[in-house]
């Protein structure tokens, strides 16, 4: 979708440079500017959306507490083997 906005912006520039009317040229230039800004915002939104983390990969509080307890036990010298997970 953002690339379509860029195509329309280029089309508005072509209209602006090919017309003999000043009013049409000004409107086309303003339209082209708005479309380029929307294009950049669309690209940024896509990039942020692609890099956001999935909620399925987040650790729930109970699992986090269990991992902290294991790390604390290892740090205190009681390096017991990790317990098997019950959610398998």
- Please enumerate, as own/partner, the contacts of 1-9 that have beta carbons within 8 Å and a separation of 24 or more: 1/42, 2/38, 2/39, 2/42, 2/43, 2/46, 3/39, 5/35, 5/36, 5/38, 5/39, 5/42, 6/35, 6/36, 6/39, 8/35, 9/35, 9/36, 9/39
Residue 78: inside a domain, yes or no? no
Residue 80: inside a domain, yes or no?
no
Q: Look at residue 44 and tell me if it is in a domain.
A: yes
Q: Does some domain include residue 45?
A: yes
Q: What is the pLDDT at residue 85?
A: 66
Instruction: Say what the pLDDT of residue 13 is.
Output: 95
Confirm whether pTM is higher than 0.95: no
> What are the residue ranges in the chain where pLDDT is below 70?
55, 78-88
Domain extent at residue 33: 1-51
pLDDT of residue 87: 62
Overall number of domains in the chain: 1
């Amino acid at each position: 979708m953002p690339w379509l906005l860029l195509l329309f912006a280029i089309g508005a520039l072509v209209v602006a440079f090919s017309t003999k009317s000043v009013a049409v040229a000004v409107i086309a230039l303003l339209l082209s500017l708005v479309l380029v800004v929307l294009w950049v915002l669309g690209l940024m939104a896509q990039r942020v959306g692609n890099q956001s983390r999935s909620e399925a990969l987040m650790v729930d509080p109970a699992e986090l507490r269990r991992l902290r307890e294991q790390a604390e036990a290892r740090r205190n010298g009681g390096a017991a083997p990790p317990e098997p997970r019950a959610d398998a």
